[in-house]
A and B are shown apart, each in its own frame.
Chain A
C-alpha cells in the first residue's frame, strides 16, 4: 500500500515536472523551428509550423549578410571581459566593505549602490560627449567601461550579502598562519565565494550579451559591432527577412544557454546562500 502510493505520487510528480519542462523548453523549440521557415510562412494560421523544406539559407544569410561570426567574436570579447573584470572588482570591493573598517565606509557603499537606480538611457548622451571629447568613440573599450560600471553595483549587492555569511574565524586562523590581505582574498575567500561569483557572472553575461542601446550609440564601424546588430541587417523600413532574423537569434541564444547550464548549480547555491543568511 505504502509503496504503491509513493510510486503514484512519483508518477504525478514526474508528469507535472515534465509539463513544466516542456513549457520552459517550448520557446526554444519555437525559436529553432522558426529559424528554418521561409519569411513568407510567418504569422500564418498555424502556431507551430513544420517547414516544408528546411531553409538552411537563413543560416547562410545570417553568416554572410548578417556577419554573425565577426559580431559574435566582438560580443564574446566584450561580454567576457566585462564579466571577468567586474567579478574581480566586485569581489575585492565587497571584501573591503564587509571586512575592513575605514572612514566613510558607509557613505561610499551607499554611493556605489546608488548606481543601481540609474537608468542606462540617462547616461548615453553624457558618455557619448565624454568619449567624443577623449576621441575614444568607435572602440570596444567604450562598451566595456560602462558595462563594467553598470555591473558593479548589482554584483556587489549579491557579493556583500554572500560574504556576510562566511564566518570570520576562518580569516582569523589564516592571519595566525601568516596570510596577508591578498592571500586571504584570493586563496581563502575566492574559492568560498564561487557560488556568488557564478551568480553575478551569469547575471552580467546575460545582461550584456543582449545589450544594444549603448552599442548602437558608441559604435560606428562595421567591424566592431556586436551581435544584436546582425538582426538589424535583416529589417528594412518596409521589409523583413524573418527567417534570417530567427537564425541570428538562435545563434545569439546558444551561448547564453550554455553559460547558464555550465553554472546553473553554482547559481542556485549563490542565490539560496544569500536567502537563508543569518
Chain B
C-alpha cells in the first residue's frame, strides 16, 4: 500500500516537472525574437523614429567565438549590437559555436548549400579551400576595404584567382613568453639565440624547473615550432613552402636535420614534463602558476599580464621575446599568419547588406581599436594610432616584436592542405617526439602526406 503511494507521488512529480518545463519552454520560444545574448539593446521598434522606410532584413551571422562575454567574442557581439541600433531595419541573428562543433556544422550547412549570410572562415587551405572550390563564398569588392588600413598580405589567404572571398580579422604569431623573476632568480637573461636557449634550458633542468610549457597534446603548435626550427637552420621560411609545392622533397637532408634538431631539443628536456599530454589550458596554467619558466605560444596570450586567475607576482613578471635567432636567421623572422576572418555566402539573399556590415565592422575605430583595447589579440589592420601608452609591458613587447618583423612564415604547414593532411602532420610530430619514429621516417611521413595533396 505504502509502495503504491510513493509510486503515485513519483508519477505526479514527473508530470509536474514536465508541465513546468513545457511552460517555461513556451515562454522561451515566444520571446525568441530578441537577441538576449548580451546587454539589452533597444528593440528596433523603439528606436525607429527617423527612418522607417527600409525593409526589414535578417542577417544570419555564424561565428566560432562561442564565448560572447569575454575577449574577441564580446567585441564581435558589441559591434553587432551597435550596428543593430544604428540600422534598426537590420537584425543580425548570431549563432556561435566552438571550433570543432563549428567546423562540423559548416560541413552540414555547405552540403545543403545553405550557409549563413556572414560566417567566420579561416584563411587557410585546410578550411577555406573546399568552400571556394564549391563556389559557396561570395567574392567581395576589394576596393571597399582599401582604405581600412589592412596590413599588407593579410588578404592573401582569402583570395583565389585574384578575387578576395574573405576579410581577415587578426594577425597571429608565435613568440616565447618567459617569467622575468624566475630568470632573475637563476641569474639568467632572456635567450636571444638558440645557443643561449639551450644553456637556459640546461640551467633550469639542473635546478629541477620546467623550462618551456607547450600544449603538445593539441598538436598544432608543434608544426609551427618545426617551421621555426627549420627556418633557423636554413635561414628562410621558403624551405617549407617549397617542400609543400613539391619543389623539394621532405626527405631532403635539411628537413631531416630539422627533425633531428627537434628530437634533440625534446631529448634535452627543453619542454616541460608531460608536455605531450598537456592541452592548451594545462600548458597555460603551468606557466601561469610559475611552474615553468617559459611558454611557447601565440601573441593572443597578451592577457596573461592582466589575467586575475594568476598571482599578481606572475602578472608583473610575464614578458615576451621573439623565438631565438641563429647564425643565419635573425629573431625578426617571425612565424606569423592571418587566421580568422569573415566571408559572405554566395547563396545569401542579402549580400549587399552583409558586405555593408563587414565594412562597418572593420572601420579602423571599431574592430581594430576595440580588440586592442580589450586586450584580445592583434588586429590584421594597422592600429598604432590606438596605442594609448597605458598598455601593459607585455603588450608593448608584443607590438614591438610584430612591428620589427622582417619576414613572415605565412600559413603554418599543417593548415596548408586538406584536413587529413593536417591530422597526419600533427600525428607525425607527436610520434617523432615520443620516439615512435625516427627523423628519417618523420620526413618520409611528411613527404607521403604532401605528395597526396600536390
Contact = CB atoms under 8 A, between A and B. Distances in A.
B281 A128 contact: no
A3 interface: no
A74 B28 contact: yes
B72 interface: yes
B99 A237 contact: yes
B83 interface: no
Contact of B66 (A61, A76, A236): A236
A239 B98 contact: no
B280 interface: yes
Nearest to A218: B108
B67 A234 contact: yes
20 contacts: A40-B310, A42-B281, A42-B282, A44-B291, A65-B69, A73-B28, A77-B25, A80-B14, A125-B111, A129-B112, A213-B104, A217-B104, A220-B95, A222-B94, A235-B98, A237-B65, A238-B280, A238-B300, A239-B67, A240-B281
A179 interface: no
A7 B21 CA distance: 50
A233 B69 CA distance: 8
Contacts of A38: 309
B49 interface: no
Contacts of B382: none
Interface of A: 38-45, 61, 65, 70, 73-74, 76-77, 80-81, 84, 124-125, 128-129, 132, 140, 194, 212-213, 216-217, 220-224, 232-242, 262
A81 B18 CA distance: 7
B2 to A, nearest CB: 14
B143 interface: no
A156 to B, nearest CB: 21
B132 to A, nearest CB: 21
A213 B309 CA distance: 31
B108 A240 contact: no
Contact of A45 (B70, B104, B291): B291
Given A74-B25, A216-B104, A223-B28, A84 B18 contact: yes
B22 A239 contact: no
Contact of A222 (B10, B18, B35): B35
Interface string B190-221: 00000000000000000000000000000000
Contact of B73 (A73, A76, A236): A236
Given A45-B291, A217-B105, A236-B73, A222 B66 contact: no
Contact of A124 (B22, B108, B280): B108
B361 interface: no
Contacts of A213: 104
Contacts of A241: 67, 70
B149 interface: no
